[in-house]
Homo-oligomer: A and B are copies of this chain.
Amino acid sequence: ICDLRSDTLTRPDAGMMQAIQAAELGDDVYGEDPQVNRLEAVLAERLGKDAALFLPTGTMSNLAGLLAHCRRGEEIILGAEYHVYAYEAAGASVLGGVSLCPVPVRADGALDPGAVAGAVKADDSHLAVSRLLSLENTHNGLAVPLADMAATADAGRGAGLAVHLDGARFFNATVALGCAETELAGLMDTISVCLSKGLGAPAGSVLAGPGDLIARARRWRKMLGGGMRQAGVLAAAGLYALDRNVARLAEDHARAGELAGELRSLGAGEVSQATNMVFFTPGDGRNDALRAHLAARGAVIGGGSSGAIRMVLHKDVDDGALDCAVQGLKSFYG
């Protein structure tokens, strides 16, 4: 089977399951889980931050970070299509009384520095208090270059904002940009990274940043209900993933390029691709028929009845699986 709906679908492989099996466990609420402690230490170091915190999901990793940055009544400036704004049900507003100020995302996935500066509010009781800039990399697969990230972060910092990175696919970005992890992370005050997407762990996310902020985020994790006990079951998988599955993200990017090439040569619609994501908009609008055709051949795609279809490459789609999808596309449009 070739499931292209999302890289969240990655399942632990045998080696990862072995790592889980072998893990010495403890109670992380007491701070005694060796796997969690090691995972937090490893990522704090790799990201060049004082401290790190393991959380069950990327949504909570972002949320605990945002609540640790912003008090009630303060504002986050962020991309209108970024996940924190568009796909986390406005949790920071709903649960935390933080207001969200969306600015348009550029075609390259970055925020315009001028737009960020322009969104920062004056000190006026009619207005929220701007506190945080929340960025995203990769965004829709686009790896935003370091220079653009730096320019936007600088615009925020110049206006007195702290800067957070939703790095759900942080390692896709660093692999694609060919930069050191600390180069991208160093532009940020806090970074959340996901272990369950391209890295292949079953669940889990880590927030890294300054010690005092991470201590506050730890309290928010507890209140939100993210303080798991023998969380090392998940953290062991995360450690394994960080060791084995980062460099191999380049394979996903290569296969995504290959799939995009095949789609373009079919001439059946618009195609764009970046890192591990391909966006294909069928010119004939027969999305549902295409989906059914592929499903019958063992390839699964998502998306609605019209518009762009997102296809995401990940470690559970190998060359054989990808070929199955490509053959299905060819037979549909051939």
Residues on A facing B (Cβ under 8 Å)? 5-6, 8-12, 17, 20-21, 25-27, 29-30, 55-64, 67, 71-73, 75, 87-91, 93-100, 102, 125-129, 196, 202-204, 218-234, 237
CA distance A224 to B223 in the complex (A): 10
Q: Are A100 and B99 in contact (CB under 8 A)?
A: yes
Contact of A6 among B27, B204, B221 (CB under 8 A): B27
Q: Kindly list chain B residues whose C-beta atoms are within 8 Å of the C-beta of A30.
A: 5, 9
Residue of B nearest to A75 (CB): B90
Known: A20-B233, A59-B225, A196-B229. A99 touches B88 (CB 8 A): no
Chain B residues, Cβ within 8 Å of A224: 59-60, 63, 91, 95, 224-226
Residues on B with beta carbons closer than 8 Å to the beta carbon of A60: 224-226
Whether A228 contacts B56 in the complex (CB less than 8 A), given A88-B126, A222-B89, comes out as: yes
Smallest CB separation, A63 vs chain B (Å): 5
Beta-carbon contact of B126 and A89 below 8 Å: yes
The reply to whether A225 and B89 contact each other, CB–CB distance below 8 Å, is: no
In the docked arrangement, what's the CA distance between A267 and B262, Å?
Answer: 60
Determine how many copies of this chain the complex contains: 4
Asked if B59 and A72 sit within 8 Å, CB to CB, the answer is: no
Task: Tell whether A73 pairs with B219 under 8 Å between CB atoms, given A56-B226, A196-B230.
Answer: yes
- Specify which chain B residues have a CB less than 8 angstroms from the CB of A26 in the assembled complex: 9, 11
B202 near A231: Cβ-Cβ < 8 Å: yes
Q: In the A-B complex, list the 4 residue pairs whose CB atoms are closest, starting with the nearest.
A: A60-B225, A202-B230, A90-B99, A203-B228
Alpha-carbon gap, A63 to B221, bound state (A): 13
Complex CA distance for A231 and B330, rounded to whole angstroms:
35
From known contacts A11-B25, A71-B72, A100-B99, infer whether A89 and B229 are also in contact, taking CB-CB under 8 Å. Answer: no
The CA-CA distance from A307 to B59 in the complex, in Å, is 40
* Closest beta carbon of chain B to A192's beta carbon, Å: 11
Complex: how many Å from CA A125 to CA B223? 8
Alpha-carbon separation in the docked complex, A230 to B88 (Å): 19
With a 10 A CB-CB cut-off, give which of A30, A60, A221, A223 has the most chain B CB atoms. A223
| A5, A8, A73, A88 interface centre (most CB from chain B within 10 Å) | A73
B89 touches A219 (CB 8 A): yes
Nearest opposing residue in chain B for A32, CB measure: B9
> Known contacts A60-B226, A223-B94; is A87 also within 8 Å of B126 by CB?
yes
